[in-house]
Amino acid sequence: MFGIILGLALLMFLAYRGWSIIWIAPICAMVVALFGGVELLPTYTESYMGGFVAFAKSWFPVFMLGAIFGKLMEDTGAAKAVARWITKMIGPKRAILGVVVGCGVLAYGGVSIFVVVFAIYPLAVALFREANISRKLIPGAIALGSFTFAMTGIPGTPQIQNLIPMDYFKTTPTAAPIIGIIGGLIMGVGGYIYLVWAEKKLAAKGDVFSEPEQKLEEVDESSLPNPFVSFLPLITVIITLNLLEWHVIPALLSGIFLLMLLNIKMHTKFTESINKGASSSVIAIINTSAAVGFGAVVRAVPAFDNLTAMVLGIEGNPLISLATAVNLLAGATGSASGGMGIALAALGEKYYQLAISSGIDPAVFHRIASLSCGGLDSLPHNGAVLTLLAITGMTHKTSYFHIFIVATVIPILATVVGIILGSLGVV
């Protein structure tokens, strides 16, 4: 048990220091193995790499196709066209809402979080400039639209954080729709109310819009595709995944093919976009697989039985221990999918058995796992948080507190409400 705790603590510390999980995960896993009294080399080659490869085998096509879809949406201008139309319709009087909704629509349509940030930021600057709102709130608004309700809450989202639990609980992307919708509303509405309050507080202090140091290119609307046409690939992914109940791979493929067909005039750029999307997906899948491999080693040491008893022994129903385990591991790894991967790789089967024996619908376990992975994952060392701050030209000192409230505190509250509803039999 000491080895497991030490390995997790080391993983969290090194991730917080900015070291890549690709190589620190196996080192921390060997710490677990060393204290666990098992042979190091067989543990690495069989347990660690076994967990690593099994996750990559199951999820690499989804990571790759999702990245390609996002890159094509970016390079064709479709993502920016959709975001521009939404923000224009909502208008500068509700600049924060425009940014949140724009991010949410793109994320829920299957566009990767990083593409959403790149597409929305120039539009956010223009809106905040016209509304005279401090740029300190731009990261928080983008995080609210990208990292919360569209990623983990609203049922049917094709984001990986909503798909991973399916294999463990034998569920669908729309698992526990009522809990998901209520959780999504808590995150979306609660986060928006906070950002509006924060904007008023900053304005009262005279903290209003200031031009970014790095000059941005103005968005040339004439070069963007038709926004209504650009919506179609996003809608196609959602409909084929949820209404037609296609597997996520053909669902993403349908969106990709339709997007390419609608932008056939840009066919000369397709190869480059697909290559870049596919390349970027490799790092993403390896990061998550590395975390899952760590979980496989934890499961392989004798002390795992003690860990299982400790986690499952948390007082209350099993939904509380599931949420606690996923949230803590997401915080330790700085990754929602990584933390969920470790927790479910180690304990997913146990929780499925508990779902059956306790009479709680496995769909509720799916939704709670998805909701809870989006809490402590957004601590300061999270890769998406670091990227968001870098792109927006903000720092942890100026903007992280707002990200923390909308992407950590409020999602945890939404998870608590979800647990209460699930315990009452709401699905």
Between CA 79 and CA 64 the distance in angstroms is 18
For residue 40, being part of any structural domain is answered with no
222 part of a folded domain: yes
189 in a structural domain = yes
Considering only the C-alpha atoms of the chain, give the largest distance between any 2 of them, rounded to a whole number of Å.
Answer: 65
- Asked if residue 229 is part of any domain, the answer here is yes
pLDDT in tens, 61-114: 998 999 999 999 989 999 989 998 998 899 888 999 999 999 999 999 988 888
Tokens of 107: 């994320």
Report the distance separating Cα 154 and Cα 147, nearest Å: 12
Report the pLDDT value the prediction gives residue 58, as an integer from 0 to 100: 86
The whole-number pLDDT of residue 407 equals 95
Query: What is the DSSP secondary-structure string of 15-45?
Result: HHTT--HHHHHHHHHHHHHHHHT--HHHIII
Collapsed DSSP state (helix, strand, coil) of residue 205: coil
Q: What is the pLDDT of residue 219?
A: 63
Asked whether residue 5 is domain-assigned, the answer is: no
Spatial distance between the Cα atoms of 128 and 210, rounded to a whole number of angstroms:
9
Q: What is the structure's pLDDT at 216? A: 64
Q: Distance between CA atoms of 423 and 414, rounded to whole angstroms?
A: 14
Distance CA 362, CA 232 (A): 32
Cα 293 from Cα 55, distance rounded (Å): 8
Task: Let me know if 305 is exposed, middle or buried by CB neighbors in 10 A (0-12, 13-18, 19+).
Answer: exposed
pLDDT score for 217: 64
Q: Are 337 and 164 in contact (CB under 8 A)?
A: yes
Count of domains observed in the chain: 1
Structural domain of 182: 59-423
CA angle 26, 163, 421 (to 5 degrees): 110
Ranges of the chain whose pLDDT falls below 50:
none
302, 36 Cβ separation under 8 angstroms: yes
Rounded to 5°, the CA angle 264-266-271 comes to: 100
- 224 located within any domain: yes
Position 51 in a domain: no
pTM: 0.84
pLDDT in tens, 154-202: 999 999 999 999 999 999 999 999 999 999 999 999 999 999 999 999 9
CA distance 34 to 156: 42
Report if residue 330 sits inside a domain: yes
